[in-house]
Amino acid sequence: MLQISEDMIDTLTQEERSERMARVRGKNTKPELVVRRLVHSLGYRYRLHCKGLPGKPDLVFGPRKKVIFVHGCFWHRHEGCSLARLPKSRLDFWLSKFESNVARDKRNQQDLEKMGWRYLVIWECQIRNCTMLEKWIKEFLSNST
């Protein structure tokens, strides 16, 4: 059980925190761009952020009925990852936020499967290992099942 002290406070002012959070991007993140460049260099073509599919996947391979999500470890709670640390303040807010993000991801993945789509989740921390990343992508996209 996680013990949290109520006296933990944010080191930033409310305005500084708001400004910093406003810089967080949902599309075209650095990890996503790395994956897109790699996929393109492997000769695969894709669509971006298809609004007609659950979760608006980052990369969509329509004819293959496959999608790739590039998830940030912090926002999507990559289990066991050091990048998925907890903030030091407003834990009740953050735990609720993270819980709803994870539930939404799971629901979107289940909906995609029901529609006959396959998905691959690539975590932010996994883009550091280009050899493994290339292997996973090739295997996912070349496999017909």
| pTM assigned to the model | 0.81
Q: Which two tokens stand for residue 110?
A: 């289940």
Q: Which two tokens stand for residue 120?
A: 């691959």
Superfamily of the domain at 26-142: VSR Endonuclease (3.40.960.10)
Residue 24 has pLDDT above 90, yes or no: no
- pLDDT in the model for residue 17: 58
**The Cα angle at residue 73 between residues 143 and 120, in degrees rounded to 5:** 10
Amino acid found at 86: L
Q: Over the chain, what is the mean pLDDT?
A: 86
Residue 26 has pLDDT above 70, yes or no: no
Question: pLDDT tens across 77-91, in order?
Answer: 999 898 888 888 888
Domain definitions of the chain by residue range: 26-142
Closest C-alpha among 67, 71, 70, 72 to residue 53? 67
